[in-house]
A and B are shown apart, each in its own frame.
Chain A
Amino acid sequence: MPTKIDEKRDGLVRNYAINIRKNIIMIIKSGKTGSAAELAQLLDSVSQNELVKSILILACDENGYTPETINSILKNVSIPVFGGIFPQIILEKENLGRGCIVAGLSNKAHIQVISGLSDEAIDYENILEEKMLGINAKTMFVLVDGLSTRISALIDSLFNVLGLECNYIGGGAGSLSFKQKPCLFTNEGLIQDSAILAAVETECGVGVGHGWTEVAGPFKVTESERNVIKTLDWRPAFQVYKEVVENHSRRKFTSHNFFDIAKSYPFGINKLGTEKIVRDPLMVRDDDSLVCVGEVPQEFYVHILTGDSNSLINAARGAMELGKKSFNGTVDNKTILFIDCISRVLFLEENFACELEAVHNQQMPLIGALTLGEIANNGKDYLEFYNKTSVVGVLGD
C-alpha cells in the first residue's frame, strides 16, 4: 500500500511520496497560490531528492507566470525540467484554475526543444532525425504550444521519423484567451511557439477516448488551410455548420456566442476501426471559415459530432481502462497522468467532476492538465493530434 502524507503549510496543499517496496519512485508536490515563489520552493524541494532525475511541471495560466518572473527560477534547477502552462491542471479529483504541480521522475529525461512551431519553412523531420538520433525511450512526453499552427506537421514528423517505438503522451499548453504567450517550461526558461520532447525510460500505458458521436455528415472539406476549414461541400464552412448545429441545438448563433454553442458540436474525421479524430471549432472568421484546434486536411470528409455527459464520461472511463490494459505490468500504485481537453470542462461544466471521478483510482495518484489539444499513442494506432479527447497515461514511475 502506498503511504500518503498530507501537509498544509507554506501554501503547499498536498505532498505525496509514494513508497513501493521501500523505494520512493515518484515525488509529487503541488501548490495553489500560483506564485513564482511557490514554484521555486516546490522545485527546490523536489530536486533536493536524490532519487529525482528530472522534473515535470504542470501549471495554470491564471498564475500569470512570465519569463521575467520564472526564468531565473528555472535556470537554477540543476536537473532536466520540462512542463507547460495550461488553462487548468488536475490533482486527484480536482481541477485547479490556479497553482502548479511539480512531479519528480526517477528517470533522466532527454529533452529536446523544437522551436518555430508555426514556421512554414521548417522541415521538422530533418530536425527530429538530427536531434533524436540514438535516443531510445519507452515514453515520449510531447508538450506543444497549443496555439501554434503546425502542431499536426510536427506530430506527422514524429510518426515518420520515430514511428511507434515508444508511447507518446502530452498535449497543447497555452491560454483559453487564445493569446499566444510563453507557456512551456525548459531549463532555459519559458518559451512559446515550440514543442518539448522529453524522452524517458519510464514505462507507460496509454488509453484514449472521447465519446462524441455523429449528428450529421459526411461533409467534404473542399477547401482548407491547415487548421482553417474554408468550405464544406463547396459552400462556406460556417453556413453548413450553422444549418446543422442550429437545427440540432435549437439555438441561434449570434456574434458573441459561437464557442458557447460550438463547444458541443465538434467535427470528426474518419478513421478505420477507431473513434473519429475530433477537431474543435474555436471561432468563425468574417469569410465564414472556421478555425479549429488542429489540422483538417483538404479532401477529407468530416462529420459534425455531439455528445452528452454520459457518453463523454464513459469515454474517459474507457480511456482509463485502455491505459491500464496497455500498461506492461501491474498498475497498482502507478501514477496516472490525465491529459484532458479543456473544452470537455467547458462542455461538462459541473459534471466534469464525474469525469475526474471516472478516471480516479484510490490506489493510483493522479495528476494532469486540461489542455488545448491532446497527443497520445500506445504503439498501436497512427499517431494523432486529438481535440476534445481524454488521454490517460499510466506511468510506471
Chain B
Amino acid sequence: MIPLITEHIQLLFNEIAMSIGNSLDLRKMLKESLSTYLRKLNCSAGGVFMLKTDALGNYHYEPVITTPRSFPSSKIYQVISKHFPNHDGAGSRPLDFQKNLPLHGSVEGHTYFHILELPEFGYIILIKNNDDLDSFIIKSLKPLNIKLARACLSCLQKARIEEINTRLNDILMSSEDMVWETDADGKFIYVSDSSKELLGYDPHEMIGKQLLDFMTKLEAERIEKIISGKRLNKEPYKDMENWLVTRDGRQICMLTNGVPVFNEGKVLGYRGVNKDITLWKNAEKQLILAKEEAESASRLKSEFLANISHEIRTPMNAIIGFGDLLAEESLNEQQKKFLTFIRTSATNLLAIINNILDLPSLESGKVVINSTDTSVSQLLDDVETLMQPKSNDKGLDFRVIQQGQLPDSIQTDKLKLQQCLINLIGNAIKFTNAGYVYLIVSFDQENQPPLLRFEVKDTGVGIPEDKLELIFQPFIQVDSSTTRVYGGTGLGLTIAKQLAEKLGGYIEVKSVLGQGTSFTLSLPVGNIKESEKDILSSVRQSNA
C-alpha cells in the first residue's frame, strides 16, 4: 500500500519548495534552501555538493554549502564519502554514481544518511540523528530536488553571464575604440565610455541620436547612402571610413565596422566598433605625397638617364668606332701605342657607363626577364669567346670546365645570364694577376629544384672575411686602394647579384685572402625538356 502524503507533510514540502530559488547567488540561495530542508525534515546535518569537471575531463564533487560548516570533516561524512565516485577505491563515473541515487544507509545504528540526486548539478546529503526518513518521503522529495538543481544551474548560469559581462566591460573600458549599438532606425541605444575621449560627448548625450548627427551635412549625405543600402540588404558595415565632427569642432576619421542584430530574421539594429584612424589617414596622405614626389623624382631620373645614355653612348661609339678605323691606318709605333690606350680606355668607360645605366633598371624592377629555350653549351661557348681575350691580355689561364652531365638546354633569359657570368668572370680576371680563372659548370640533380651551378674560381687577391658581406653593395670595393689599383665602379658584382636574383638564383662567395676567390651562381632549373629528363635520370642512376 502506498502511504498517503498527509497534509502535514505536504505543507512541509510546500515550505521547502518556497525556499528554493529565491536568490540567483548560489551560496545565498542554497543557504536558505538547505536550511529549510534540514529544519523541516528535522535533520541534524547536511550539504549540497556540486559536480565539477576540469578541462581534461577529470571530475570531482565539491561542497557548495554544508551544515555545519565542518560537516565534510565529520566522522559521518568520512563514512558516507566512501560511496562517492571520487573517493579512493570507489571508481565509478559520476553518471553511474548518479544513476544509483538515492543512496541510503546508517552509521552506528542511530545516524541515518540519504544522498539524493540533484540532476545535472550534483547531490544533496541529509543526515538524521533521531529516526530515519520514510522511503515515500524520499521519493516525494524528488520533484523538489529537481527544482533545487534547476535553481542551482540558474545561479551558475547567472554567475557565468556576470563573468562574461565583466570581461566584456573590462575590454570595453580598456579599449580606445567606440563600441556602439543602434536600433533599427540607426539611433544609438548603447555607446561605450570611450565616446567621451574620442568625440567629447558622454554616452548619454549620444543615445537616441544617429551617427549622421555627428557629421557635416555633406559627409552625412555620403554616409547615409552607404548605410541605407547596407540596412536594406541586411549587410554588415565593413571598413566604412567616415568623418565625424567632435564637440570642439575637429574632424576625425572613423573606421566603422558593424553587424546587423537579428531577431527571427528581422534586423533590430546594428552593433559595432568605431576606430579613430585620423592619424593613419594623415600619415597616409603624407605617404601618398611622398610617393608622388618620389615617383616624380624617379621619372626625372629616368628621363635624365635616358638622355645621358644617348648623349654619352653616341660620342663613345664614335670614339671607339673611329679608333677602330684609325687602327687600320698605317701608324708609327708611338701612335699605335697611344691609340691602344685610347681604345682600351674608351671600351672600359663604355662598360662603366653601361653598368651605371643598368643598375637603376634592375633596382626599380623594370628589367623584364624573357625566358627562352637556351642551349647551355652555346651559352658557355659565347662566354668563353667573350672572356678569353681579356684573360689572354693578362696572361691568365682561363677555362670553361663542365663537370658531369649538363642539360642541353634550359629555360632562362640567355642575355641576362650571360651578363651575370661575364660580370663574375670579368671581376675574377680583374683581381687575378697570375694563375687561372676557371668557370666550372655542374648540375645538381639531387636538389629540389635541380640547380645548374656556375662556379667562377680564381687565384686572385682574395677578399678579407669581414668584407665578404659588403662586396655586393653598389659602388663598394674592398678598399679604396683597390679602386686605384684595379679601377672600376664597384657595380659589377652588384649587377651580377641583382641579375642572379631576377633569374631566380643566388650567388655565394668563398675567399681566402691572398689565395683566391670562388663565386658560385646557383640557378634553379625548372623547365628541362622532357627528352632530357630521361637522360638526366639515367645519369643520376649511373652516378649512384
Contact = CB atoms under 8 A, between A and B. Distances in A.
Interface string A248-288: 00000000000000000000001111100000000000000
Contact of A379 (B42, B44, B74, B133): B44
A271 B14 contact: no
Interface in B38-80: 38-45, 67-71, 74
A334 B260 CA distance: 82
Interface stretch (B5-13, B97-105, B188-196, B211-219): B5-13
Interface in A274-308: 274, 299-301
A371 B12 CA distance: 29
A271 B41 CA distance: 6
Contacts of B11: 218, 270, 301
B378 interface: no
Contact of B42 (A129, A162, A165, A382): A382
B14 A301 contact: yes
Interface string B129-149: 111010001000000000000
A163 B44 contact: yes
A159 interface: yes
Contacts of B42: 271-274, 381-382
A272 B68 contact: no
Interface string B13-27: 011001100000000
Contact of B40 (A156, A272, A380): A272
Contacts of A272: 9, 12, 40-42, 133, 137
Given A129-B69, A159-B68, A163-B71, A271 B45 contact: no
B388 interface: no
Nearest to A379: B129
Contact of A161 (B7, B14, B68, B130): B68
Nearest to B66: A160
A162 B43 contact: no
A164 interface: yes
A140 B39 CA distance: 20
B419 interface: no
Given A163-B44, A163-B70, A164-B44, A382 B15 contact: no
B35 interface: yes
Contacts of B43: 382
Given A271-B42, A382-B42, A163 B14 contact: no
Interface in B157-191: none
A271 B67 contact: no
Contacts of A384: 39
Interface in A142-166: 156, 159-165
A12 B43 CA distance: 45
Nearest to B68: A163
Given A270-B8, A272-B9, A301-B15, A159 B40 contact: no
10 contacts: A156-B35, A159-B68, A165-B68, A270-B8, A270-B40, A272-B12, A272-B42, A272-B137, A299-B15, A382-B39
Given A270-B8, A273-B42, 8 more contacts: A161-B69, A162-B68, A163-B68, A301-B11, A301-B15, A379-B44, A380-B44, A380-B129
Interface of B: 7-9, 11-12, 14-15, 18-19, 35, 38-45, 67-71, 74, 129-131, 133, 137
Q: Can you list the 4 inter-chain pairs with the closest CB atoms, starting with the nearest? A: A163-B68, A299-B18, A380-B129, A380-B130
